[in-house]
Amino acid sequence: MLERRNSDRIAMPGGSVKEANGDYLYSFRAMELSEEGIFLQGRLCHSGQEPFSSLSFTLPNGKRLNNVTARIVREERKGARQGCAFEFMNLSEEHRMTLKRFFAEFQLRGTA
| Cα–Cα distance for residue pair 10/35, rounded to 1 Å | 10
| Cα–Cα distance for residue pair 17/14, rounded to 1 Å | 9
Its pTM stands at: 0.83
Q: Name the DSSP letter for residue 36.
A: S
The third-level CATH classification (topology) of the domain covering 9-109 is Thrombin, subunit H (2.40.10)
| Cα–Cα distance for residue pair 109/97, rounded to 1 Å | 18
What pLDDT digit, counting tens, does each position of 46-82 carry? 666 778 999 999 998 899 999 999 999 988 888 777 8
